[in-house]
Amino acid sequence: MEDHTPQALSAARRLRRQMSLPEGLLWQQLRQRPMGLKFRSQHPVGPFVVDFYCAAACLVIEVDGVAHDRGDRPERDARREAWLSERGLRLVRIAARAVLRDPAAVADSIVSLCLAPPPSAAGAAATSPGGGVSSGVPC
């Protein structure tokens, strides 16, 4: 997923320099390319910047602190998740406290998710309006 807005690219560059402690700890694990998987940190996707992205698995990883439970944040997160899903991206949310507790274990779980086979095509055919026909989205 390489399409992004100029604003998202600018924000991503800034956010890479200002990662939270949990994001920084997780990045130290993921940047080592575990099991040969390449992860990107603070990656622009459309109008958004996602915490981490693995293109090979079409997986977005978000590290969520307590702020994600407050105010309008749950609604904003739901809209963001729907937008990403429409483009064929899976999203996994990780609690910041889990990363602080054991960043290596969280990274191992993420790698397992990336290596897991995608849902069967039969399930996609039965549930998608296009009958499992590709939407042209690379993921």
In the chain, the domains with their CATH numbers are 6-116 (3.40.960.10)
For the whole model, what pTM was predicted?
Answer: 0.76
pLDDT in tens, 64-113: 986 655 667 888 889 989 999 999 999 999 999 999 999 999 999 999 99
Q: What is the pLDDT of residues 22-64, one digit of tens each?
A: 999 999 999 999 999 999 999 999 889 999 999 999 999 999 9
Distance of CA 104 to the CA centre of its chain: 17
CA atoms within 13 A on the CB side of 129: 2
Which residue from 72, 23, 25, 69 is spatially nearest to 49, judged by alpha carbons? 23
Residue 138 confidence class, pLDDT cut points 50, 70, 90: low
Helices (H) and strands (E) in the chain, counts: 6, 4
The Cα 106–Cα 127 span in angstroms is 31
What is the pLDDT at residue 125? Answer: 45
Separation between Cα atoms, residue 61 and residue 38, nearest integer Å: 13
